[in-house]
């Protein structure tokens, strides 16, 4: 039986309007542009992160990424003196022997043909289930032996790497054994003698080598579970701030982890208050680049996202280097002395290891001058400040009481309050210490001299540019800053070549003419083999700025000597 034919009326559809078509087109273009921007932005961010950032666990104490470019290593070995070059070679040989030579490998022959542009070393913090760690040592060799180490080598040429990984070198006193973890094959030594080396390949892209099988498992877990450095708070957003094309090295320090290790260590050196303050900070990272005249370090530090503390974005420095003479040996400047002191006091309160103990400084100022440090002095010191060392005139230096003058300058936020405090200080020096308070004139400007009871000019104070108070202690160098010097430190070639111009604006700068200072004055000892390393340095420059209320930027340049080397 044939099916009945049902006629269905067909409605004529209305053609879409041109406006609707254009609107849809713009929406699609917008979505495509947004997707493209996000994709390229993600690629840029990932390119700025050190190799292994998606593999190394978040609790890594320290990571260092190093270039594999032989030309850059050759350039590094041209800096400095024969002594510093020999010291560098000793450290490189130790690192090479630990991971390569002791296991039968040669970097240039076995690794260089297939490895990527950089490799990363990481020191992992001890796991909570392990016994408490030994005290954190300042000795690099002792420090490295207390935690597990991870090395990440990107595979640029899989074919060349395949044969090496398939047939590892035969060990003299150990045997290679295979096991599987989370689907990845791990080769490791049997652990009968020496270090228990462990290695695995992640998705054919990275070779992971560790000195502890558990560390290999932790790296695999971090990679699969996305609990790596790349997922650490602030890591991916702050590293691009210091990114540079083909850097020689990058480093990262996990501040909270370092604080926890220090807190758990027996005979710890840091009190609980300081450790609590360190928990406010999340990370410190840096990028190192080699330049024709020295080494540049671009750094960034950022706060813990859970910290209640925020930074004041004040970048008001940059004036003081134009007020001191060209022969200035050292200058340290900042944007707000009162705020700097408040921040320093907050992080150093109760710490006996602080270079300046706030409670003692307050007590000392009160005892010596009867002035209250916060109420009478810092209260009006909210502007830019600087501390400089300026040598005496060469012709007078041999017979002078002081070989250099220490110059302190600060922009007064309240001149009336400043003048009242300075007048009170003059009275104390006159009545309590029997100094003569003598008005004088330098280049038409009125200054005040403090003359010691035995007749030696000890200090001079006055005003520059209306609101900048200055105090000179030591050599009488007032004529070097009054009037404003025709050739200033800011205009000299050493300053321009050493002190970074970025970040700009800045909240502080530092300049040290190492060569001239070392010739005339002994420098305090701050680190091992200091004299050897300073002998290789011409000058040091630093520029800092607060990027936002959570991060701070640092640029440091070391102008280095060069020694001929084959």
Q: What is the pLDDT of residues 277-322, one digit of tens each?
A: 667 789 999 999 999 999 999 999 999 888 888 899 999 999 999 9
The three-state secondary structure class of 246 is: coil
566 vs 552: CA distance, rounded Å: 40
Element at 340 (helix H, strand E): helix 337-348
Give me the pLDDT at residue 5, please. 34
More confident position, 268 or 24? 268
Give 195's pLDDT tier (boundaries 50, 70, 90): low
Would the pLDDT of 217 be above 90? yes
Output the pLDDT for position 94: 84
* Residue 357 CB partners (closer than 8 Å, separation 6+): 348, 351
Confidence at residue 140, expressed as pLDDT on a 0 to 100 scale? 37
pLDDT-derived band at 36, boundaries 50, 70, 90: very low
Q: Which residue has the tokens 């006159």?
A: 430
| Beta strand pairing call for 176-181 and 184-189 | antiparallel
The model's pLDDT over 420-461, given as tens digits with 9 standing for 90+, comes to 999 999 999 999 999 999 999 999 999 999 999 888 888 999
Instruction: Please compute, for residue 316, the number of CA atoms within 13 A of its CA located in the half-sphere on the CB side.
Output: 14
How far apart are the C-alpha atoms of 276 and 443, rounded to whole Å? Answer: 52
* Residues paired with 551 in a beta bridge: 302, 548
CA distances to 139, 144, 240, 253, 522 from 123, rounded to whole Å, are 15, 7, 22, 10, 36
pLDDT value at position 169?
72
d(CA 357, CA 364): 11
Q: Over range 263-270, report the average pLDDT.
A: 62
In the predicted model, what is the mean pLDDT of the chain?
A: 83
Between 43 and 561, name the one with better pLDDT: 561
Going 151 to 157 to 160 to 165, the CA torsion angle's sign is positive
Q: Does residue 47 carry a pLDDT above 80?
A: no
Residue 103 near residue 197 (C-beta atoms within 8 A): yes
Tell me, what's the pLDDT at 132?
A: 44
Asked whether 351 and 274 are in contact (CB, 8 A), the reply is yes
Model pLDDT for residues 368-389, shown as the tens digit of each residue: 999 999 999 999 999 999 999 9
Nearest to 286 by CA among 256, 249, 311: 249
Q: How confident is the model at residue 521 (pLDDT cuts 50, 70, 90)?
A: confident
- Taking the alpha carbons at both ends of the chain, their separation in whole angstroms is 103
Q: What is the pLDDT of residues 344-362, one digit of tens each?
A: 888 777 666 677 888 899 9
pLDDT of residue 486: 94
Give per-residue burial for 497-529: e unless 16+ CB within 10 Å, then b.
Answer: ebbbeebeebbbbbbbbbbbbbeeeeeeeeeee
| pLDDT at residue 271, as a whole number | 61
Q: What is the pLDDT of residue 304?
A: 87
Query: What pLDDT is recorded for position 375?
Result: 95
- Concatenated DSSP letters for 151-214? EEEEBS-HHHHHHHHHSPPPPSS--EEEEEETTEEEEEE-SSSS---EEEEETTTEEEEESSHH
277-281, 448-452, 528-532, 562-566: which is most confident: 448-452
Q: For 358-476, list the strands marked E by DSSP.
A: 385-391, 404-411, 436-442, 445-451, 457-464, 468-474
Which of 245, 334, 296 is closest to 555 using CA atoms?
Answer: 296
This prediction has a pTM of 0.84
Q: What is the mean pLDDT of residues 241-253?
A: 93
What was the pLDDT predicted at 465?
81
> Which two tokens mark 315?
């970048």
Q: What is the pLDDT of residue 274?
A: 61
CA atoms within 13 Å, Cβ hemisphere of 474: 14
pLDDT reading at 39 higher than 50: no
279 contact partners, CB below 8 Å, separation of at least 6: 256, 259, 304, 307
Locate 265 and state its tokens: 């260590």
- Confidence at 230, pLDDT banded by 50, 70, 90: very high
Where residue 400 falls among pLDDT bands split at 50, 70, 90? low
Q: By percentage, how much of the chain surpasses pLDDT 90?
A: 55
> What pLDDT score does 395 carry?
62
Tokens standing for residue 341: 């002191």
Q: What span, in angstroms and rounded, lies between the C-alpha atoms of 399 and 389?
A: 19
- 16 pLDDT higher than 70: no
Pairing of β 148-154 and β 206-210:
antiparallel
Backbone angles phi, psi at 504, to 5 degrees: -140, 125
Higher pLDDT among residues 286 and 524, named by residue: 286
List the one residue out of 546, 469, 541, 554 whose CA is nearest residue 507.
Answer: 546
When computed from its CA atoms, the radius of gyration of the chain, rounded to whole angstroms, is 31
pLDDT in tens, 56-113: 999 899 999 999 999 999 899 889 888 888 888 888 888 777 777 777 788 888 888 9
Per-residue pLDDT tens over the stretch 387-398: 999 998 766 555
Residue 6: predicted pLDDT: 34
More confident residue, 244 or 397: 244
Q: Token pair for residue 40? A: 């390229």
Q: Is the pLDDT of residue 4 over 60?
A: no
Is pLDDT above 50 for 12? no
Which CA distances in Å does 413 have to 77, 146, 324, 554?
49, 51, 21, 26
Q: Which residue has the tokens 């020694």?
A: 563
Domain boundaries, the chain: 47-291, 310-557
Query: Parallel, antiparallel, or unpaired for β 281-291 and 551-560?
Result: unpaired
């Amino acid at each position: 039986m044939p099916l009945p034919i049902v006629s269905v009326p067909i409605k004529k559809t209305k053609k879409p309007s041109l406006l609707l078509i254009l609107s849809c087109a713009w929406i699609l273009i917008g979505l495509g542009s947004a997707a493209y921007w996000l994709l390229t932005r993600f690629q840029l961010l990932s390119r700025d992160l050190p190799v292994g950032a998606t593999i190394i666990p978040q609790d890594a104490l320290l990571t260092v990424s190093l270039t594999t470019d032989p030309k850059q290593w050759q350039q590094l070995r041209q800096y400095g003196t024969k002594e510093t070059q020999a010291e560098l070679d000793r450290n490189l040989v130790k690192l090479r022997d630990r991971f390569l030579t002791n296991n039968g490998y040669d970097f240039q022959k076995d690794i260089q043909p297939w490895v990527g542009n950089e490799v990363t070393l990481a020191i992992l913090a001890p796991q909570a289930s392990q016994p408490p760690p030994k005290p954190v040592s300042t000795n690099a060799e002792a420090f490295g032996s207390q935690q597990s180490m991870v090395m990440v080598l990107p595979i640029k040429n899989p074919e060349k790497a395949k044969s090496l990984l398939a047939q590892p070198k035969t060990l003299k006193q150990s045997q290679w054994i295979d096991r599987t973890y989370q689907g990845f094959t791990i080769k490791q030594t049997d652990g009968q003698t020496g270090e228990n080396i462990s290695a695995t390949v992640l998705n054919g892209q990275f070779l992971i080598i560790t000195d502890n099988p558990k560390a290999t498992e932790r790296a695999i877990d971090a990679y699969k579970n996305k609990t790596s450095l790349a997922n650490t708070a602030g890591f991916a957003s702050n590293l691009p701030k210091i990114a540079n094309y083909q850097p020689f090295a990058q480093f990262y320090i996990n501040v909270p982890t370092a604080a926890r290790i220090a807190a758990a260590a027996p005979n710890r050196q840091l009190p609980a208050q300081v450790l609590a303050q360190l928990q406010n900070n999340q990370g410190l990272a840096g990028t190192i680049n080699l330049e024709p005249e020295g080494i540049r370090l671009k750094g960034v530090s950022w706060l813990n996202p859970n910290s209640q503390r925020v930074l004041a974005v004040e970048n008001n420095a940059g004036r003081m280097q134009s007020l001191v003479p060209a022969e200035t040996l050292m200058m340290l400047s900042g944007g707000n002395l009162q705020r700097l002191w408040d921040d320093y006091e907050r992080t150093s309160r109760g710490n006996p290891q602080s270079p300046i103990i706030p409670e003692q400084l307050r007590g000392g100022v009160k005892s010596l001058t009867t002035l209250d440090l916060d109420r009478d002095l810092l209260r009006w010191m909210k502007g830019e400040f600087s501390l400089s060392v300026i040598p005496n005139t060469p012709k007078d230096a041999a017979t002078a009481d002081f070989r250099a003058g220490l110059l302190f300058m600060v922009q007064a936020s309240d001149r009336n309050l400043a003048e009242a405090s300075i007048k009170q200080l003059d009275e104390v020096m006159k009545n309590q210490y029997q100094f003569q308070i003598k008005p004088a004139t330098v280049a038409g400007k009125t200054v005040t001299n403090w003359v010691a009871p035995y007749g030696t000019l000890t200090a001079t104070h006055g005003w520059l540019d209306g609101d900048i108070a200055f105090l000179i202690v030591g050599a009488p160098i007032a004529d070097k800053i009054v009037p404003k010097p025709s050739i200033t430190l800011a205009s000299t070639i050493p300053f321009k070549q050493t002190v970074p111009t970025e970040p700009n604006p800045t909240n502080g700068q530092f300049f040290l003419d190492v060569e001239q200072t070392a010739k005339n004055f002994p420098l305090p000892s701050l680190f091992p083999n200091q004299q050897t390393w300073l002998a290789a340095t011409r000058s040091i420059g630093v520029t800092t700025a607060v990027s936002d209320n959570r991060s701070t930027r640092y640029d440091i340049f070391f102008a280095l000597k060069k020694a001929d080397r084959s």
